[in-house]
Amino acid sequence: MNSAKSDKPCKPVTVASLARMKAEGEKIASLTAYDFSFARALDAAGMDFVLVGDSLGMVMQGRATTLPVTMDEIIYHSRCVAPALRRALLMVDMPFMSHVTADDALRNAGRLMKEGGAQIVKLEGTGAQAEVVRRLAQAGVPVCAHLGLRPQAVHKMGGYRVQGRDEAAAGIMLEDARQLEEAGADLLLLECVPAELAARISGQARVPVIGIGAGPHCDGQILVLQDMLGLTPGHVPKFSRNFMPDADSIPGALAAYVAAVKSGRFPAPEHCF
């Protein structure tokens, strides 16, 4: 039987809520989820948004990269997560090659929202994707633009490497971020970017900037759920932290993560580039 607490109405987070959090200096906390049970736990822990990421290809399917994930697969996982969320906003990744053209992006983003329940879609790209973002925004689709290390471009980039280390590369990323925001991106996500560059982008952007391996000066943080629960076999990214050893349960670890992000204790210097 549900407790009175679980039945208490809660105000859903929206894109406008996230923008307001940036304006007010409140940190944004997020994790990935791929199923109903974990999504419900993330929502209860106070996550501001939940990402159904194409990382499911690696953590759920055991693939070497995110590239094989299909639209049908990510829609399936999104449909599992969506019913669990009462407060958190639902963000869903656009898989590899699903947004090459504006027409592709419109068709596939429509599927993510209509079939998967997405409230905002995330796409990997550079300033070259600005027209795609513009067309999505004009159609009423909220967009998060993913910069820095882009796992869908891992073969082009030559591996999973920190991006924007030199001034020339940093300048390009600053301009890419500006173009994508100008095109209508509602959020920016920076992956594996030096903390100083992430601070510059966060200071430049009017929209919230979410970091994963991008230092403490972003407006919010996201990690892969399995990484922060210590479930990932093999190499764990430098930017992640296992929150389970100091918690008495998974809900405790999730709550500790939210508290650490909100207070600015995570990421710490050892998690930054």
142 backbone dihedrals φ, ψ, rounded to 5°:
-65, 140
Kindly tell me if the per-residue pLDDT of 70 is higher than 70: yes
126 backbone dihedrals φ, ψ, rounded to 5°:
-125, -165
The rounded distance, in Å, linking the Cα atoms of 136 and 133 is 5
Q: Residue 173 belongs to what H/E stretch? A: helix 167-183
Which residue reads 């590899």 in tokens?
96
Q: What is the mean pLDDT of the chain?
A: 95
Q: Whole-prediction pTM value? A: 0.95
Greater model confidence, 235 or 177? 177
Kindly tell me if the per-residue pLDDT of 6 is higher than 50: no
Structure confidence at residue 234 (pLDDT): 85
The contacts of residue 213 (CB under 8 Å, 6+ apart) are 149, 162, 191, 192, 193, 237, 238, 239, 267, 271, 272, 273
Structure tokens given for 30 = 């997020």
CB-count burial class (<10 Å; 0-12, 13-18, 19+) for 50: buried
State mean pLDDT over 53-73: 97
Percent of the chain with pLDDT over 90: 95
Percent of the chain with pLDDT over 70: 97
Dump pLDDT digits (tens) for 130-145.
999 999 999 999 999 9
Query: What residues does 31 pair with on adjacent strands?
Result: 50, 223
Dump pLDDT digits (tens) for 213-242.
999 999 999 999 999 999 998 888 999 999
Helix 102-114, helix 130-138: angle, nearest 10: 50
Structure confidence at residue 3 (pLDDT): 37
The answer as to CATH 3.90.550.10 being correct for domain 11-271 is no
| Cβ burial 192-217 (10 Å sphere, 16+ → b, else e) | bbbbebbbbbbeebebbbbbbbbbbb
Dump pLDDT digits (tens) for 45-60.
999 999 999 999 999 9
State mean pLDDT over 75-86: 98
CB-count burial class (<10 Å; 0-12, 13-18, 19+) for 172: middle
Structure confidence at residue 9 (pLDDT): 63
Virtual torsion, Cα 163, 168, 171, 176, nearest 10 deg: -60
Tell me which of 24, 26, 191, 196 is the catalytic residue.
Answer: 191
- So where are the chain's domains? 11-271
- The pLDDT-based confidence of 2 (bands split at 50, 70, 90) is very low
Among this protein's residues, is 191 annotated catalytic? yes
Task: Identify which of 181, 200, 204 has the alpha carbon closest to the alpha carbon of residue 126.
Answer: 181
The rounded distance, in Å, linking the Cα atoms of 99 and 226 is 27
Kindly tell me if the per-residue pLDDT of 5 is higher than 90: no
Which residue reads 């905002």 in tokens?
120
Q: Residue 103 belongs to what H/E stretch? A: helix 102-114
| Cβ burial 62-91 (10 Å sphere, 16+ → b, else e) | eeeebbebebebbbebbebbbebbebbbbb
Sign of dihedral through CA atoms 122, 126, 132, 135? Answer: positive
Which residue reads 């209509």 in tokens?
114
Structure confidence at residue 222 (pLDDT): 98
> How far from each other are the two terminal CA atoms of the chain, in whole angstroms?
47
Which residue reads 């082009």 in tokens?
156
Structure confidence at residue 237 (pLDDT): 93
